Amino acid sequence: MRPANVAYPDHLRSEVECYLGTLRFSSESASAGLEEAMRYSLLAGGKRIRPVLVLATSRAIGREPSWGLPLAGAIELIHTYSLIHDDLPAMDDDDLRRGRPTCHRAFGENVAILAGDGLYAEAFRLVLSDQEGDPGAVLAAVRELAAATGVNGMVGGQYLDVAGTAAGGAAGLRRLHELKTGRLIAASVECVLLLAGRDEPDTIRFFNHFASELGVLFQIVDDILDVTGSDEDLGKPRGSDERLGKRTYVTEFGLEGARRRARESHQSARAALEQAVPSGATELEQITDFIATRTH
C-alpha cells in the first residue's frame, strides 16, 4: 500500500463549492423562502466528500473533473435532502447541524420537509438537464442514483434505523449502514463509470469494491467520532447516537473493536483502489485517507 496521504483535495472541494453556489432553483419570487431554506442547508459547508469523490473518480478514469460537476451537484443535493429529513422532529429531532440551527429550526418544519423534497427533485432535474454524456449512459447513471436513494438504498436504511428492524449482529449493522450511507457514497464512484460508459468487468468490479468499502469505512469512523469527537468539531452534540439508543459499530464492538475494523476497512479500500487504478489515483487516495483519519 502506498503511504497514507492525509492532504484533502481542496482544489476539487473549491470547484464543488463554487458550482453549488451558482445553482438557483426557483424561477419565481413567491418561492424565495423555499429557495432560501434549500440553499441554507446546501451551502452550509462540509468536506463535500461525495461530490469530491465524483470529480476525483472522473479524473481517475481519464476525464476532466469538471465534466462530472452536474452529477456531483446532484449527489450533494440528495445528501443535503437526506440530512434535512433525518434531522426532523419525527426522526432524529436534531437542533444543530454543522454548528448552525437545523433547517426545520431555522425555517419551520413544513418548509424543511418541502426543502428536502425540492432538493431531491432538483437533483434529478440537474443531472438530467446539465450532465454531458450519451443518453443511454446518463439514463443508467440516474437509474443507479434512484436505486441508491430509494427503498433498497438510503431511504430503506433510514427506515431500518428509525424502526430498529435491522437484523442483529455485525451483518445486520453493516446492512443498515450499507443502505443508509454506503450506497450513496458508492454511487458517487459508480455513477461516474456508468456515465462514462465504462464497462470492463475488472474496472467495474475493483471500483465497486473500493466504493462500497469506502462507505463502510465512513460509517465506522462516524460512529467512533460520535463517541470521541468534540461538540465543536462535530458541529452538533456528541453522543447523539447513544441518546437515541442507536446501534453503532461502537455499541456492537466497543471502541477498540471499531477502531480495528476501521483500520481493516481502510486497508481494504486502498487495496481495491490500487487494483482499480494501478497507475495511482492521488485524489482518490487522499479522500480515502481523509475518511479514515478525519476528526469531524
Contact set with its own copies (CB under 8 A): 25-28, 30-35, 38, 85, 88, 90-91, 108-111, 113-114, 116-118, 120-122, 124-125, 128-129, 134-136, 138-139, 142-143, 146-147, 149-156, 158-160, 162-163, 165-167, 172, 175
CA separation, residue 132 to residues 67, 86, 167 (Å):
7, 32, 41
CB 249 → its own copies: shortest distance, Å? 18
Whether 78 and 51 have beta carbons less than 8 Å apart is answered as no
Q: In the chain, what is the greatest distance between 2 CA atoms, to the nearest angstrom?
A: 55
CB 203 → its own copies: shortest distance, Å? 22
CB 173 → its own copies: shortest distance, Å? 12
| Residue whose CB is less far from its own copies, 169 or 280 | 169
The DSSP H or E segment spanning 101 is: strand 100-101
What's at 121, amino acid-wise? A
| Structure-block grid coordinates of residue 137 | 449512459
CB 135 → its own copies: shortest distance, Å? 4
Whether 210 and 189 have beta carbons less than 8 Å apart is answered as yes
CB 17 → its own copies: shortest distance, Å? 21
CB 260 → its own copies: shortest distance, Å? 26
| Residue whose CB is less far from its own copies, 44 or 88 | 88
CB 111 → its own copies: shortest distance, Å? 7
| Residue whose CB is less far from its own copies, 172 or 257 | 172
Q: What is the DSSP letter of 96?
A: E
| Residue whose CB is less far from its own copies, 6 or 151 | 151
Q: Report the residue count for the chain.
A: 296
The set of long-range contacts for 32-39, using a CB threshold of 8 Å and a minimum separation of 24, is 33/107, 33/111, 34/111, 34/114, 34/115, 34/118, 36/107, 37/103, 37/106, 37/107, 37/111, 37/112, 37/114, 37/115, 38/80, 38/115, 38/118, 38/119, 38/122
CA separation, residue 70 to residues 21, 29, 46, 233, 289 (Å):
13, 25, 18, 29, 25
Q: What is the DSSP letter of 25?
A: -
| Residue whose CB is less far from its own copies, 29 or 279 | 29
| Residue whose CB is less far from its own copies, 74 or 262 | 74
What's at 215, amino acid-wise? G
Whether 221 and 265 have beta carbons less than 8 Å apart is answered as no
CB 6 → its own copies: shortest distance, Å? 35
| Residue whose CB is less far from its own copies, 9 or 157 | 157
| Residue whose CB is less far from its own copies, 113 or 255 | 113
Angle, helices 69-87/109-130, rounded to nearest 10 degrees: 160
